[in-house]
Structure 1
Amino acid sequence: MALLPPIETESELSYAYLHAVAAYAGMSCECSNRHADKLGVDALIRVSECFTPESVLTEFALDVQLKATISVPTEKDGKLSYFLKGADRYDKLRTPTVNPARILVVLFLPTDAAQWLQQTEEQLAIKRCAWWVSLRGAPDTENTSGVTIYLPRNQVFNSQGLREIMTCLSKQEELLYAG
């Protein structure tokens, strides 16, 4: 049996990261099928909870497009760069007429694969971090090969950040691109 190629291992670690964050935040997370993947959706996070007294929705979902990379991002003006291959993926993520809302989550892994995952009796740790961005309302692109996305450094994809996203969605607030 062959081992996964490194790029597939990166992808699997991004799923593990997403599931861990969602579980710790108390939310269910499921992987999408290949049909949903063609729509730019890798996973779906579901919630059945009243987040705040201002919540309008108590059952809702969030679509997630996952990416993982060993490329070191450039940081400028508090944002991290990531090149999203394929303008069609970009267009699917920026579409304002879809529900549930969609976000892009990018896991930046160390360049050395030996550092991606650390396991001891005390902990299991995926090294580095993921950030998220909503591309809803982002501008058109003429580039067909892809688009450089800028992820706000303050939008760390962790359990607190996910709860903040879901609180906004529970109040029917749009997650708009702030690039």
Structure 2
Amino acid sequence: MPLTLNKKKEEFSRSYVSSVAAAAGYWVQPRDVDYDSVDITIGCPTGGGAVGFPKIDAQLKCTAGPTPTADFAFPLPVKNYRDLKPTNIAISRILIVLVVPEEINDWAICSAANLELRYSAYWVNLYGEPDTPNTSTISVTLPLANQFTCAAVEAMMDRVRNAGAP
């Protein structure tokens, strides 16, 4: 039996983030159980810097729609929001939202020459954000400038390596 639409989005977002992180030179470890809103950990295979072997935990979300042309809002479950904003954690956490086309067959375009994963992912660090009185979801803004690219992964890991936030 094929995956449900939500499971397809979950698996595609893991694959997308893993592909970008691997191309940037980092490993990705998926979490089997998501108790604390962490789906994957991105890690550095070498030490160096103020923090040896830096890591970033990430919550992955996927939504279908047009390619964003400006910062956009994403309705994040309050539980995930609260799990991503603490300041007393050992490994920094980010939210990564992948935006895919409405038509599932357009998510990945395969040919003999290339594999194109569509559209793009964006990230935000919710560290230290205020609590919310909301009980269901909270609107989180993802900056268009925070596209999840190889260069962005490298920059995040450099900041964590130097004891900063992603």
Question: Secondary structure of the residue that 1:81 maps to in structure 2?
Answer: strand
Equivalent-residue separation in structure 2 for 1:90 and 1:73 (angstroms): 24
Measured after TM superposition, the shift of residue 88 of structure 1 is 1.5
> 2:95 aligns to what?
104
Contact 2:62/2:97, CA 8 A, preserved across alignment: yes
Residue 59 of structure 2: which of 65, 78, 86 is its match?
Answer: 65
Measured after TM superposition, the shift of residue 137 of structure 1 is 1.0
> 1:93 aligns to what?
84
Contact 1:30/1:45, CA 8 A, preserved across alignment: yes
Aligned length: 166
Equivalent-residue separation in structure 2 for 1:122 and 1:72 (angstroms): 25
Contact 2:84/2:127, CA 8 A, preserved across alignment: yes
Measured after TM superposition, the shift of residue 58 of structure 1 is 2.8
Return closer, same or farther for 1:73/1:174 CA change in 2, 3 Å cut-off. same
> 1:125 aligns to what?
116
Return closer, same or farther for 1:4/1:122 CA change in 2, 3 Å cut-off. same
Contact 1:10/1:68, CA 8 A, preserved across alignment: yes
TM-score (norm 1): 0.87
> 2:31 aligns to what?
32
Return closer, same or farther for 1:163/1:74 CA change in 2, 3 Å cut-off. closer
> 1:11 aligns to what?
10
Q: How does 1:74-93 map to 2 (within 5 A)?
A: 78-85=70-77, 87-93=78-84
Equivalent-residue separation in structure 2 for 1:95 and 1:57 (angstroms): 19
Contact 1:81/1:151, CA 8 A, preserved across alignment: yes
Structure 1 runs (4+) deviating above 2 angstroms are 48-51, 71-75
Question: Secondary structure of the residue that 2:80 maps to in structure 1?
Answer: helix
1:171 equivalent in alignment to 2:162: yes
Measured after TM superposition, the shift of residue 50 of structure 1 is 5.4
Letter paired with 2:13: S
Equivalent-residue separation in structure 1 for 2:66 and 2:133 (angstroms): 25
Letter paired with 1:93: L
TM-score (norm 2): 0.93
Write the deviation string for residues 148-173 of structure 1: whole angstroms up to 9, x where unpaired. Answer: 11011111101100000000001101
Letter paired with 2:12: L
Contact 2:26/2:44, CA 8 A, preserved across alignment: yes
Percent identity of equivalent pairs: 27
Return closer, same or farther for 1:17/1:109 CA change in 2, 3 Å cut-off. same
1:44 equivalent in alignment to 2:24: no
Equivalent-residue separation in structure 1 for 2:18 and 2:91 (angstroms): 18
Measured after TM superposition, the shift of residue 49 of structure 1 is 3.3
Contact 2:74/2:141, CA 8 A, preserved across alignment: yes
Gaps of 5+ in 2: none
